[in-house]
């Protein structure tokens, strides 16, 4: 077993080298080659069938953004190795059973061993709005997305209802978690776990819970868990101005969201989680997950919001209607995605710091390569407080205001309460820093997809 595990680890260890090699090859010729390849393959990551999906990590063939994260390199390789061990272990279990001809009749024991008592205890309160996802992530040894989503599938009876193979589900979730970039300060698997937890809270709201079908719940949880899959840690304008192949592939439109969706579809197919369903249902699932993920493109927020507003004005939302239900789920996922300012100050503040770190990091790269610094990304002129106040004023408050009209519950009031308090706290910080207090960053007012920087793209 140990020998096999080491072999697998060694295979994985060779990856950074491979990625660096690819970086060195970022010549125009290579660029053209990849563009051509992309035309043929679509957004399919090039990978070898024989290996242990080693190519997964190099999913951006010619810009490997990891080279820019030099200061967090050591931390990254340690945590990446932990995940690899987990994967290798799972694969070892599966493959050894396979070779011995033993099937896995009951896997719940293996699954339960992964997280300790404290994490399990936290999961009993998974529906609480003040759930501390950072603590949960530490208690699960960096596996918050896998543990939380698996638990929610079980809690909502999805495993039973859809006759899911728990090993396939587990494997799917591990692949999802692994395809998030742990070196991104913000757009990583913990953000995905946080959004999934928020989505669960919204699904429990009376208006939704009494009309949602298991199918709706299934799609919502998968979309939440995968909505930022393989996020490169930079925003769409950055991908466009660096001629990234994804920008070409998706014609400069919802580039990241399209990629998150296609990545999710790739993993769904690869895992075979729904192989027992009809092709028709699988295709329906893929397209509906796409509708949910694409809704998280914040540059489209005004369109979604005005539709939501006119439905609420007319009072014509009918949740027995599947189209209306799915529209509400899109709005719910949008809320879950940008709900950071609606959490308690302690949690909210940590998210703000992380997202700002990611913006500023992009700004640093843009400076270094003379690409022109994107709005909100310049650490010389921006502050966390300014960014947060603008974000809350132009994006979060309007969205959650309408959500509270739709679902006027204690949760909605709690969220609006935190939002107000957090904004006041950032205004306090702003006053301390500048002496004046009413600066609202106007960047957010320019709701244009080409101007909107990373923050609105909290998706």
Ligand X SMILES: *[C@@H]1O[C@H](CO)[C@@H](O)[C@H](O)[C@H]1NC(C)=O
- Ramachandran region of residue 318, left (φ > 0), alpha (ψ -120 to 50) or beta? beta
- Confirm or deny that 337 is annotated as ligand binding: yes
Q: Give how far Cα 149 sits from Cα of 67, 243, 268, 338, 349, Å.
A: 31, 35, 15, 19, 24
- Specify the stretch interacting with Zn ion by CB under 5 A; choose among 41-49, 137-145, 258-266, 336-344: 336-344
Residue 251 interacts with, from Zn ion, ligand X, none (CB under 5-8 Å by kind): ligand X
**Residue 130 corresponds to which tokens in the numbers above?**
């003040």
**Residue 88 corresponds to which tokens in the numbers above?**
């290798």
Enumerate residues 355-414 that contact ligand X by CB under 6 A. Answer: none
- Confirm or deny that 450 is annotated as ligand binding: no
Q: Give how far Cα 206 sits from Cα of 67, 308, 319, Å.
A: 47, 19, 12
Out of 108, 323, 380, 436, name the contact with ligand X by CB under 6 A.
108
Residue 252 CB, shortest distance to ligand X, in Å, is 4
Any idea how long the chain is?
Answer: 459
- Does residue 102 interact with ligand X by CB under 6 A? no
Q: Between 70 and 108, whose beta carbon lies closer to ligand X?
A: 108
- Does residue 18 interact with ligand X by CB under 6 A? no
Residue 252 interacts with, from ligand X, Zn ion, none (CB under 5-8 Å by kind): ligand X
Out of 179, 205, 228, 441, name the contact with Zn ion by CB under 5 A.
228
For residue 187, indicate whether it is catalytic: yes
Check the CA dihedral 335-336-338-343 and report its sign.
positive
- Confirm or deny that 276 is annotated as ligand binding: no
Q: Between 252 and 350, whose beta carbon lies closer to ligand X?
A: 252
DSSP 238-296: HHHHTT-HHHHHTTTSSHHHHHHHHHHHHHHHHHTTTTTS-HHHHHHHHHHHHHHHHTT
- Confirm or deny that 418 is annotated as ligand binding: no
Out of 263, 299, 443, 459, name the contact with Zn ion by CB under 5 A.
459
Which residues are CB-neighbours of 204 under 8 A, at least 6 positions away?
Answer: 127
Q: Between 126 and 240, whose beta carbon lies closer to ligand X?
A: 240
- Specify the stretch interacting with ligand X by CB under 6 A; choose among 34-42, 101-109, 165-173, 207-215: 101-109
- Does residue 103 interact with ligand X by CB under 6 A? no
Options 12, 181, 187, 200, the catalytic residue: 187
- Does residue 106 interact with ligand X by CB under 6 A? yes
Asked if 9 and 45 touch (Cβ cutoff 8 Å), the reply is no
Nearest CA to 230 out of 249, 248, 257 is that of 257
What is the rounded distance in angstroms from the CA atom of residue 187 to the CA atom of residue 184? 6
- Does residue 337 interact with Zn ion by CB under 5 A? yes
Enumerate residues 212-271 that contact ligand X by CB under 6 A. Answer: 240, 251-252
What is the rounded distance in angstroms from the CA atom of residue 61 to the CA atom of residue 413? 46
What is the rounded distance in angstroms from the CA atom of residue 45 to the CA atom of residue 60? 8
**Residue 52 corresponds to which tokens in the numbers above?**
């242990």
- Specify the stretch interacting with ligand X by CB under 6 A; choose among 33-41, 100-108, 185-193, 316-324: 100-108
**Residue 201 corresponds to which tokens in the numbers above?**
């809270």
Residue 383 CB, shortest distance to ligand X, in Å, is 29
Q: Specify binding-site residues for AMP.
A: 187-191, 228, 337, 388
Q: Specify binding-site residues.
A: 187-191, 227-228, 337, 388
Interacting residues toward Zn ion by CB under 5 A: 228, 337, 459
Q: Specify binding-site residues for Zn(2+).
A: 191, 227-228, 337
Residues involved in catalysis: 187
Interacting residues toward ligand X by CB under 6 A: 105-106, 108-109, 240, 251-252
């Amino acid at each position: 077993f140990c020998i096999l595990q080491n072999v697998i680890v060694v295979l994985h260890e060779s990856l950074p080298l491979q990625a660096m090699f690819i970086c060195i090859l970022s010549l125009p010729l290579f660029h053209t080659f990849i563009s051509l390849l992309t035309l043929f393959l679509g957004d399919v990551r090039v990978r070898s069938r024989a290996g242990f999906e080693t190519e997964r990590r190099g999913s951006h063939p010619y810009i490997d953004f990891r080279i820019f994260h030099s200061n967090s390199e050591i931390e990254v390789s340690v945590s990446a190795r932990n995940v690899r061990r987990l994967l290798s272990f799972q694969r070892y279990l599966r493959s050894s059973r396979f070779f011995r001809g033993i099937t896995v009749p009951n896997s719940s024991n293996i699954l339960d061993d992964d997280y300790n008592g404290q994490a399990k205890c936290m999961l009993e309160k998974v529906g609480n709005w003040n759930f501390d996802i950072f603590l949960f992530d530490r208690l699960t040894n960096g596996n918050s997305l896998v543990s939380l989503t698996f638990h929610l599938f079980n809690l909502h009876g999805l495993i039973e209802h859809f006759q899911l193979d728990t090993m396939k589900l587990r494997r799917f979730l591990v692949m999802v978690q692994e395809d998030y970039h742990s070196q991104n300060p913000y757009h990583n698997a913990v953000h995905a776990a946080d959004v999934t937890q928020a989505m669960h809270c919204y699904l429990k709201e009376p208006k939704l819970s009494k009309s949602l079908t298991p199918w709706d719940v299934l799609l919502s949880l998968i979309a939440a868990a995968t909505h930022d899959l393989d996020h490169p840690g930079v925003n769409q304008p950055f991908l466009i101005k660096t001629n990234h192949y994804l920008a070409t592939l998706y014609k400069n439109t919802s580039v990241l969201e399209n990629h998150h969706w296609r990545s999710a579809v790739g993993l769904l197919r690869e895992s075979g989680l729904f192989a027992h369903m009809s092709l028709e249902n699988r295709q329906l699932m893929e397209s509906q997950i796409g509708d949910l993920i694409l809704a998280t493109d914040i540059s489209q927020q005004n369109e979604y919001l005005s539709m939501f507003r006119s439905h609420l004005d007319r009072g014509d939302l009918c949740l027995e209607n599947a189209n209306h239900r799915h529209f509400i789920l899109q709005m719910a996922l949008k809320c879950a995605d940008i709900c950071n300012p609606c959490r308690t100050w302690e949690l909210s503040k940590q998210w703000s710091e992380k997202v700002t770190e990611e913006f500023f990091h992009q700004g640093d790269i843009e400076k270094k390569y003379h690409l022109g610094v994107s709005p909100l990304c310049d650490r010389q002129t921006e502050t966390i407080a300014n960014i947060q106040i603008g974000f809350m004023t132009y994006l979060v408050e309007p969205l959650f205001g309408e959500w509270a009209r739709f679902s006027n519950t204690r949760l909605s009031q709690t969220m609006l309460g935190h939002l107000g308090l957090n904004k006041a706290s950032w205004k306090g910080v702003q006053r301390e820093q500048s002496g004046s207090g009413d600066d609202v960053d106007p960047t957010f007012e320019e709701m244009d997809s080409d101007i909107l920087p990373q923050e609105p793209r909290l998706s």
